[in-house]
Amino acid sequence: MPNLEEQIDITAPGDVVWDHLHQVEDYPRFVGGVREARREGASGLHMDLEAKGGAVRGIDASTDDLRPNETMTWRTADTPHLSGSVSLLPIDASHTRVQVRMEYDPTEAHDAFGGPKGFAQSSAIERTVREDLHHFKDLVEQAHPGR
């Protein structure tokens, strides 16, 4: 399965970034294709995502705070099988590097959501994750200006 790693630097302290990362209801504001997201229990979440042909597909996942305020892992409960982690690395008191690692099967992603196949699907996923990180950065920095 391909692995993806992306990172971005955010002008905000790690605890602020961590809090935003855990506000699941805000995922539609920065994760492409997510129409709705909600917590289910202590470590579960459900997201309604746009799929091929404009359909909506529900995905359930579990999260685990491996190291609170530092690393969160996640894994989907069913296909498409997606898993990964988000790590926060302090740069200084007011800047945090967000590092995303993800493992996925491009064929399962294509079957679930449509889009290109093979290498082109991997490129599209990488582009989407980069865009999502930029949207997340904007969300955090706009909510906490001057930090």
pTM exceeds 0.75 for this model: yes
- pLDDT score of 146: 62
Give which of 55, 21, 18, 58 is closest to 36, Cα–Cα: 58
Q: Provide the pLDDT confidence category of residue 27 given band limits of 50, 70 and 90.
A: very high
If you average pLDDT over residues 14-40, what whole number do you get? 94
Looking at the chain, the number of H-run helices and the number of E-run strands are 4, 7
72, 85 Cβ separation under 8 angstroms: yes
Q: Where are the alpha helices (DSSP H) in 33-117?
A: 106-113
pLDDT in tens, 31-65: 988 999 999 988 899 999 987 777 888 999 999 99
pLDDT at residue 91 is higher than 90:
yes
Alpha-carbon gap, residue 106 to 112, rounded angstroms: 10
pLDDT in tens, 100-125: 999 988 778 777 776 656 666 678 78
Structure tokens at 127: 């582009």
Rounded to the nearest integer, the mean pLDDT of the chain is: 89
